[in-house]
Chains A and B, each alone.
Chain A
């Protein structure tokens, strides 16, 4: 069985899993863990969008 994800879906899945682990391990309080996890996800996903637009600008 082979899985072929698009670049975007692979990056989003990567962001979700990494954010969950970062949130749990880098903060102590459950509320802070959720907030930090969400913050990491937004940073990861935002970085993907930003990098995508930068590459688009370089290409055009």
Chain B
């Protein structure tokens, strides 16, 4: 009896997630993939969205500036396929990069391989960000 009276206020104080419209569960992840962080911004998670946008965008841009390699769609080596999957996670950045023909320069210095890894990880981090935006949209996360 005593337990039940104590646990009720504690339950009431828990932060609750508010489920958004079903349409948001589609729009937020799609927008978040296209523009990193936008899936959070559209759901008014301003600080989280901005931090995600800055982190993922900066990482991708630094990867390009470090002469990282951008993977093209391919059916060859498994690591090349995985590289493409990682790169494509960056969404709009990957599309713009392909359209501009960036990321295919000859590697001229030792740390250029970091650039390739930056590009892949930026895409993979954006996949996590997209999943987070979806969880917010369905009310699983506050």
- Whether A5 is near chain B, meaning CB under 8 Å from some CB there, is yes
Asked if A13 is an interface residue, CB under 8 A from chain B, the answer is yes
Please list the residues of chain B having a beta carbon within 8 angstroms of any beta carbon in chain A: 15, 48, 51-52, 55-56, 58-59, 62, 65-67, 108-109, 111, 114, 117-118, 121-122, 125, 128-129, 131-132, 141-142
Whether a CB of chain B sits under 8 angstroms from the CB of A24 is yes
**A17 CA / B66 CA spacing, docked (Å):** 16
Distance A39 CA – B107 CA, assembled complex (angstroms): 34
Question: In whole Å, how far is B10's beta carbon from the nearest beta carbon of chain A?
Answer: 15
Contacts of B129 in A (CB 8 A): 21, 24-25
Known interface pairs A21-B125, A28-B15; A3-B65 also in contact (CB < 8 Å): yes
Cα–Cα, bound, A3→B111 (Å): 10
A29–B17 alpha-carbon span in the complex (Å)? 11
- Number of residues from A at the complex interface, CB < 8 A: 20
Interface residues of B, dominant DSSP: helix
Q: Interface of A with B (CB < 8 Å)?
A: 1-7, 10, 13-14, 16-18, 20-22, 24-25, 28-29
User: Which residues of B lie under 8 Å from residue A13 when comparing CB positions?
Assistant: 59, 62
Report yes or no: A7 in contact with B111, Cβ–Cβ below 8 A: yes
Cβ–Cβ contact B132 & A10, under 8 A = no
Residues in B whose Cβ lies below 8 Å from that of A22: 128
- Is the beta-carbon distance between A25 and B111 smaller than 8 angstroms? no
> Are A4 and B121 touching (Cβ within 8 A)?
no
